[in-house]
Amino acid sequence: MHRFANPARFLRAAQLVLPWSAGLTVALLAAGLYLGLLGSPADYQQGETVRIMYVHVPSAWMGLFVYSNMAIASAVALIWKHPLADVVAKASAPVGAGFTFVCLVTGALWGKPMWGTWWAWDARLTSMLILLFLYLGHMALVNAFDDPTRGAKAGAVLALAGFVNVPIIKYSVDWWNTLHQPASVTRVGMPAVDPAMLTPLLLMGLAFTTFFVTLLILRVRSELAAAKIRAIRMVQVHGG
């Protein structure tokens, strides 16, 4: 971890990973969409509406996954004072917010024909909405200070405090009587999803993961470049 805390070393590694992550994203996304939209059967109860699942479920997974990574990066930044960890957390927040927003929108599109309403104050839905607010709050807090170091520290504290919401989202369908269906892919034993549906679902999950890696690398590179420009300007101001 200490080795990759060096921005120059990270950038060299990212340069090698980026083409692979971008290529895998395209290939996995094409395969997942083809199998999900054309190669998988309609559900006997939900009909063609079930195909929303191939975007909705991976988006939900990524909302939790990205926030967990953001919380880990924030802990590393607070404990070991690695500036690159702050950059990773800052770069992750908008991507995670995007995944969470897509999850909520696709959930509403599915809920209208299935539940008869666009929105219900269901435990899973409400906790996912809170997750979106945590992402937005982190983004606002990090950029609320003139001193980037203070903003990063405040954002890290919020990310760690908000992490308590992640297990609540995961286990809300088990802890409370909700409209949302229980876990069917990650449950103990065999997944309760037909392989014809499970395969494109997992492919889309992998595609969204590699997409996140690609966006994270691009955003971290952009943040590091912006930090370098700020440092040069500071030198010029004080030097002048």
Q: Do residues 15 and 186 lie in contact, with contact meaning Cβ atoms separated by under 8 Å?
A: no
Q: What is the pLDDT of residues 72-120, one digit of tens each?
A: 999 999 999 888 999 999 999 999 999 999 999 999 998 888 778 888 8
State the pLDDT confidence band at 188, using cuts at 50, 70 and 90: very low
Q: At what angle do helices 83-115 and 53-80 cross, to 10 degrees?
A: 150
Q: Tell me the residue range of the domain where 222 lies.
A: 49-239
Tell whether 124 is covered by a domain: yes
Tell whether 189 is covered by a domain: yes
Tell whether 40 is covered by a domain: no
Residue with tokens 């070393």: 9
For residue 207, the model assigns a pLDDT of 98
Tell whether 99 is covered by a domain: yes
Tell whether 114 is covered by a domain: yes
Tell whether 81 is covered by a domain: yes
For residue 240, the model assigns a pLDDT of 55
Tell whether 18 is covered by a domain: no
Count other Cβ atoms within 10 Å, centred on residue 164.
9
pLDDT, average across residues 25-48: 89
SS3 content of the chain, % helix, strand, coil (to 5): 80, 0, 20
**Own/partner pairs, 151-156, CB within 8 angstroms, 24+ separation:** 152/77, 152/86, 152/89, 152/90, 153/77, 153/78, 155/74, 155/86, 155/89, 155/90, 155/93, 156/74, 156/75, 156/77, 156/78, 156/86, 156/89
From residue 150, alpha-carbon distances to 84, 142, 144, 160, 231 in Å are 15, 8, 9, 16, 16
- Report how far residue 14's alpha carbon sits from residue 31's, in angstroms, rounded to the nearest whole number: 25
pTM (2 d.p.): 0.90
Tell whether 31 is covered by a domain: no
Q: How many domains does the chain contain in total?
A: 1
**Which backbone phi and psi does 47 adopt, to 5 degrees?**
65, -145
Share of the chain above pLDDT 90, in %: 61
Q: What is the pLDDT of residues 151-164, one digit of tens each?
A: 999 999 999 999 99
Nearest alpha-carbon partner for 172 in 108, 110, 120, 98: 120
Q: Do residues 217 and 11 lie in contact, with contact meaning Cβ atoms separated by under 8 Å?
A: no
